[in-house]
Structure 1
Amino acid sequence: MRLARLQQLLTLVLLATALGWAGWMASAGRPVLAVVCALLVLGFHALVLGLEMAVAARVNRDDPAPAASGLQRLRAWWGEVLTAPVVFCWRQPFFPDAVPDDPGAPGRRGVVLVHGFICNRGLWTPWLRRLRARGIPFVAVNLEPVFGSIDRYAAVIEQAVRQLEQHTGCAPVLVGHSMGGLAIRAWMRDFDGDRRVHRVLTIGTPHRGTVLARNARTTNARQMRRDSAWLQQLASQEPAQRYRRFTCFYGHCDNVVFPASTATLPGADNRHVSATAHVRMAFHREVVNEVLAWLEAPASSCESDMAGATPPTR
């Protein structure tokens, strides 16, 4: 996978830079400065995340989402500082296929997992292990080309949905993180999704775009600009009742999708997640438990319903 190789290279360059700078300072008889230099290189992402958090806090001041306290933003920042390197420097570049897909067997509802921008299926590794332990069928896609149009990802999702349909005979649950939620909406538009999906859950998806993409240059990132022409066209092609099939998780500490309420849809089951940043939101307990509830809810039939699926019993 192209993205995995790119992230491998970036990770190795980062480590080499940190070690080289530290070694240079140590050879110059400055061991304390050597440690400081290495930490600055390895912890540079923390500064970037802090800047994103500050911008998001400013933009969110006029947003209807619940206001975040300073302590909540600090908790969200620290959680993302710890989570981001594990995802982008370990799971995705070196072990994207640590848990192979398991399309399951007839009679058990499965799930299609769709990652976001600059990610691959390695994002979902903790999910995949949990799903496998519970015997839940799953397929986690890779959206490529990495910087292509979101419209092109619909065909990738269609392959995954067909695989689960053929193996289980059930309409699957679809879960999308960030841009992945938009790719799912594109799939529903192009492949009769209302008839074939049981439930859609999105996590920090810029349904109405994000301020962070204002100066974006790649095709898919430009499509995620606030109220972009692409987003407006997508919404115009969707029937109003479609959003009743969606559960949208959003948060006031999302450092990528802001204003916060742009990650919601009218008529959907919109769930606010507090004190949690963008990537870490994909592993939030409330999010994971909600997906499992839809997958494990008893049902008399695996078939989807045009009127919308019945919420799981908790």
Structure 2
Amino acid sequence: MWTLLTILAILAALLIAEALFVSTVTHALLWYEISGTEHARKLRSRGCLPLLFATGLLRAMGTQFLVVLTYHAHRLPWFGRERPDARGPVLICIHGLYHSPSAWVFHGPRFERAGFTDQVRIGYRCWFAPMNKAVEEVKRKVRRALDERPGRDALLVGHSLGGLMVRACLAEPDIAQRTRAAVSLGTPHRGSRLTAFGWGPITDTIRLDSPEIERFCPSRPAVKVPRLALATPMDNFVLPPRALLPPEGWEWAETGPINHIAMLHDRRTVEMVTDFLRRTISR
């Protein structure tokens, strides 16, 4: 019994250490990136900058810990009930790099309460697969979801790398023609410097200002689709902040000063998403 408790204690200590390390390093890099810039002055208008970073660091530790704890939640039988026979558009959610469909474990029920009862939470190989393989896998699964729902349209929502996957899908005429609206959350539309610390071939594709992003995830959709890019002014994974700026044709809005992963847990963020989606499909 003591051996089991010791193992559990070691695992818990490792999880806490990982959350502390990742959160501290990424917030330190964010501080370095924005120091003395207009972005820092804009953040100061929201409050004391050191206090914002201190609270942001603590929250980031919690969200990082939650990611690890819930990583395999999508394998549980109650997770992500699809309803192909429902009315209205199907909500297709695409997670980011190093994540899983469990990314939507908090927002999924909130989407459902907002009226989006049919949800497809797509998973894809993002750890070691190259960008082209990941993109093709996502497109294939989106097409399958649409084929299972003849006569119905889609709403695409992607977090982080998932937002680039949304762009890739919208470049396909057959998908774009059946998409009513699209939303990206904390997406590195112009790449990120932080990929220098990542692993796997996808990180080479999404380095800052990489032309490979446009190659695999074109900025122009095949047909015009209402698009919203949501970003947080304290994104600690997409650096520098200008890398969050979307291509021409996207609406742009900022959430409160929360961290990158907190966008998957924050109530105000999901309200901004659902407000946009409702506004769009009611036109």
Alignment-derived partner of residue 229 in structure 1: 211
Aligned residues: 269
Using the TM superposition, give the Cα deviation of residue 242 of structure 1 relative to its aligned residue in structure 2, in angstroms. 6.8
Using the TM superposition, give the Cα deviation of residue 57 of structure 1 relative to its aligned residue in structure 2, in angstroms. 1.7
One-letter code of the match for 2:71? Q
> Considering only aligned residues, what root-mean-square deviation do their CA atoms show, in Å?
3.1
SS of the residue corresponding to residue 67 of structure 1 reads helix
Task: Give the unaligned 5+ runs of structure 1.
Answer: 1-14, 21-37, 301-309
Q: Percent identity?
A: 19
**1:96-116: CA deviations, max 9, x gaps?**
444134133253122100000
Of 250, 255, 258, the residue aligned with 1:268 is 250
Using the TM superposition, give the Cα deviation of residue 248 of structure 1 relative to its aligned residue in structure 2, in angstroms. 1.0
| Whole-Å separation in 1 of the counterparts to 2:281 and 2:188 | 31
Of 244, 247, 253, the residue aligned with 2:228 is 247
Using the TM superposition, give the Cα deviation of residue 298 of structure 1 relative to its aligned residue in structure 2, in angstroms. 8.4
Using the TM superposition, give the Cα deviation of residue 192 of structure 1 relative to its aligned residue in structure 2, in angstroms. 4.0
Q: Which consecutive segments of 4 or more residues in structure 1 shift more than 6 A?
A: 240-244
Of 26, 48, 65, the residue aligned with 2:22 is 48
Alignment-derived partner of residue 127 in structure 1: 107
One-letter code of the match for 1:274? G
| Whole-Å separation in 1 of the counterparts to 2:191 and 2:259 | 17
| Whole-Å separation in 2 of the counterparts to 1:213 and 1:242 | 31
TM normalised by structure 2 equals: 0.81
Are 2:135 and 2:216, in contact at CA under 8 Å, matched by a contact in 1? no
Are 1:178 and 1:206, in contact at CA under 8 Å, matched by a contact in 2? yes
Using the TM superposition, give the Cα deviation of residue 283 of structure 1 relative to its aligned residue in structure 2, in angstroms. 2.3
Of 234, 238, 250, the residue aligned with 1:257 is 238
| Whole-Å separation in 1 of the counterparts to 2:126 and 2:191 | 20
One-letter code of the match for 2:273? V
Radius of gyration: which is bigger?
1
Using the TM superposition, give the Cα deviation of residue 209 of structure 1 relative to its aligned residue in structure 2, in angstroms. 0.5
Alignment-derived partner of residue 143 in structure 1: 124
Of 33, 48, 54, the residue aligned with 1:59 is 33
One-letter code of the match for 2:125? E
Are 1:56 and 1:255, in contact at CA under 8 Å, matched by a contact in 2? yes
Distance 1:179 1:296, change over 3 A: same
SS of the residue corresponding to residue 186 of structure 1 reads helix
| Whole-Å separation in 1 of the counterparts to 2:212 and 2:100 | 23
Distance 1:129 1:166, change over 3 A: same
Alignment-derived partner of residue 210 in structure 1: 192
Alignment-derived partner of residue 71 in structure 2: 92
One-letter code of the match for 2:275? A
One-letter code of the match for 1:146? W
| Whole-Å separation in 2 of the counterparts to 1:59 and 1:100 | 38
Are 1:247 and 1:268, in contact at CA under 8 Å, matched by a contact in 2? yes
Are 2:82 and 2:119, in contact at CA under 8 Å, matched by a contact in 1? yes
One-letter code of the match for 1:254? D
Using the TM superposition, give the Cα deviation of residue 138 of structure 1 relative to its aligned residue in structure 2, in angstroms. 0.6
When structure 1 is superposed on structure 2, of 214-223 and 249-258 the one drifting more is 214-223
Of 49, 54, 64, the residue aligned with 1:74 is 54
**1:47-95: CA deviations, max 9, x gaps?**
331121011121124465833522222222211111221221x211355
Using the TM superposition, give the Cα deviation of residue 210 of structure 1 relative to its aligned residue in structure 2, in angstroms. 0.6
Of 278, 281, 284, the residue aligned with 2:266 is 284
Are 2:194 and 2:239, in contact at CA under 8 Å, matched by a contact in 1? yes
TM normalised by structure 1 equals: 0.74
Distance 1:149 1:298, change over 3 A: closer
Using the TM superposition, give the Cα deviation of residue 182 of structure 1 relative to its aligned residue in structure 2, in angstroms. 1.0
When structure 1 is superposed on structure 2, of 213-222 and 163-172 the one drifting more is 163-172
Distance 1:215 1:77, change over 3 A: closer
Task: Give the unaligned 5+ runs of structure 2.
Answer: 1-5
| Whole-Å separation in 1 of the counterparts to 2:127 and 2:13 | 30
| Whole-Å separation in 2 of the counterparts to 1:286 and 1:48 | 24
| Whole-Å separation in 2 of the counterparts to 1:297 and 1:104 | 23
| Whole-Å separation in 2 of the counterparts to 1:78 and 1:202 | 25
Using the TM superposition, give the Cα deviation of residue 243 of structure 1 relative to its aligned residue in structure 2, in angstroms. 8.2
When structure 1 is superposed on structure 2, of 104-113 and 137-146 the one drifting more is 104-113
| Whole-Å separation in 1 of the counterparts to 2:236 and 2:59 | 12
Distance 1:204 1:186, change over 3 A: same
SS of the residue corresponding to residue 214 of structure 1 reads helix
SS of the residue corresponding to residue 228 of structure 2 reads strand
